[in-house]
Amino acid sequence: MAALGEPVRLERALEYFLALVPHPDICRAIELLEKLQRSGEVPPQKLQALQRVLQSEFCNAVREVYEHVYETVDISSSPEVRANATAKATVAAFAASEGHSHPRVVELPKTEEGLGFNIMGGKEQNSPIYISRIIPGGIADRHGGLKRGDQLLSVNGVSVEGEHHEKAVELLKAAQGKVKLVVRYTPKVLEEMESRFEKMRSAKRRQQT
């Protein structure tokens, strides 16, 4: 157990949260807290602190990613085994993002006009896959949930971390009706990647002249 005052690592905090709430239902938990507040059985200060945590942006992000993974995880075993696998995948996603923005789920409709964004990067370029451009007036632009600089973590439940660029393109093209993306915002890494690619292009142009 961590010593008093020792910072709790993100993975440990998420493991505690998901162990206490195997399938996080934040709204129901908040309703229960409100009932406890009215009953006066628990000191209100403690309940208010817990309520702030449950209503926080971070907790919301955990719930969104958990529910997305739970819906798409390919496990035909018992609900308990499925929930355990989902919890581990959620912890891994957030642990990988430590020091960056937390993962979030973005759902876009898939229409004939496409999704309205471009991606760059991939295993063959020794880089993550990123949203490099949001097309003005396109689906992603109108939806507003996706940002230039978002790293693409998964497409409809299939991880694209460490995958080739073409794998992500194929998954996006194959999506029917709608596409669910798990992303995290890391614009500085995208800027570094674009700078590296520009240097490579400049070096290639110099060689050709």
Classify domain 104-195 by CATH architecture: Roll (2.30)
d(CA 67, CA 107): 13
Of the pLDDT bands very low, low, confident and very high (cuts 50, 70, 90), residue 186 is: confident
d(CA 56, CA 49): 11
Classify domain 10-96 by CATH architecture: Orthogonal Bundle (1.10)
Check residue 138 and give its pLDDT: 94
Point out the least confidently predicted range of 88-92, 128-132, 147-151, 152-156.
Answer: 88-92
pLDDT digits 0-9 by tens, 98-148? 545 678 889 999 988 899 999 998 998 888 899 999 999 999 999 999 999
Residue 123 backbone dihedrals phi, psi, to 5 degrees:
-55, -40
User: What's the full length of the chain, in residues?
Assistant: 209
3-state secondary structure 95-120: HHCCCCCCCEEEEEECECCECCEEEE
Check residue 7 and give its pLDDT: 37
d(CA 24, CA 21): 5
Q: Where are the domains of the chain?
A: 10-96, 104-195
Task: Please state the separation of Cα 54 from the chain's center in Å.
Answer: 18
Check residue 11 and give its pLDDT: 47
pTM over the 0.75 mark: no
Short-list 185, 182, 183, CA closest to 70: 182
d(CA 200, CA 187): 20
Helix, coil or strand: residue 57: helix
Residue 166 contacts by C-beta under 8 Å, 6 or more apart in sequence?
Answer: 122
The segment with the largest mean pLDDT, out of 3-12, 50-59, 73-82, 119-128, is 119-128
